[in-house]
């Protein structure tokens, strides 16, 4: 199956089973303000601030290829409290290491037995500090 993204060697997002449907990235630069009477605040750059990537997708758990408990596996990685190396599907390593800071699932389209036919998911990765670049 084509690899889209991997979290270290622990988890692989692969099409068509558990692919990433979208990605948003927010990178901030720190500009604290010094307030001066009678003028606008003076801003000074103090370097990079947070760098976050939000991944999202849809999982269809009744598909035979998705019988694994993907959300539980990701929650275990999050609970480990470890920052991971991220590799994209082209074999490129993202700069730095990344922590899983948020996981969200939205289950819908339930069957009579209570099993969801559709699980929309969102995961937030945040780059950890301490390294240059």
Give the torsion sign (CA, 73, 79, 82, 86): positive
Q: Which of the two residues, 56 and 16, has the higher pLDDT score?
A: 56
Structure confidence at residue 18 (pLDDT): 62
Structure confidence at residue 17 (pLDDT): 58
| pLDDT tens digits along 40-99 | 999 999 988 889 999 888 887 766 555 567 778 889 999 999 999 998 888 889 999 999
CATH code where residue 32 lies: 2.40.30.200
pLDDT tops 70 at residue 133 = no
Structure confidence at residue 65 (pLDDT): 54
Percent residues over pLDDT 90 in the chain: 38
Return the minimum-mean-pLDDT range out of 4-13, 69-78, 117-126.
4-13
Mean pLDDT of 117-130: 88
- Identify whether 133 is part of a domain: no
- Identify whether 67 is part of a domain: yes
User: What's the domain count of the chain?
Assistant: 1
- Whole domain around residue 11: which residue ranges? 3-127
Structure confidence at residue 19 (pLDDT): 63
Q: Could you tell me if 55 and 5 are in contact, meaning their C-beta atoms sit under 8 angstroms apart?
A: yes
pLDDT band of residue 131 (cuts 50, 70, 90) is: low
- Identify whether 57 is part of a domain: yes
Please state the length of the chain: 133
CA distance from start to end of the chain? 32
């Amino acid at each position: 199956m084509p690899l889209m993204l991997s979290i270290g060697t622990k988890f692989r997002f692969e099409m068509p089973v558990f692919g990433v449907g979208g990605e948003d990235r927010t990178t901030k630069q720190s500009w604290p303000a010094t307030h001066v009477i009678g003028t606008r605040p003076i801003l000074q750059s103090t370097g990079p601030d947070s760098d976050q990537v939000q991944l999202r997708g849809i999982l269809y758990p009744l598909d035979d290829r998705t019988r694994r408990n993907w959300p539980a596996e990701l929650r275990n990685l999050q609970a480990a409290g470890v920052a991971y190396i991220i590799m994209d599907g082209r074999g490129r390593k993202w700069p730095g290491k990344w922590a899983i800071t948020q996981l969200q699932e939205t289950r819908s389209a339930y069957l009579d037995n209570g099993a969801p036919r559709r699980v929309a998911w969102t995961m937030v990765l945040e780059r950890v500090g301490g390294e240059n670049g």
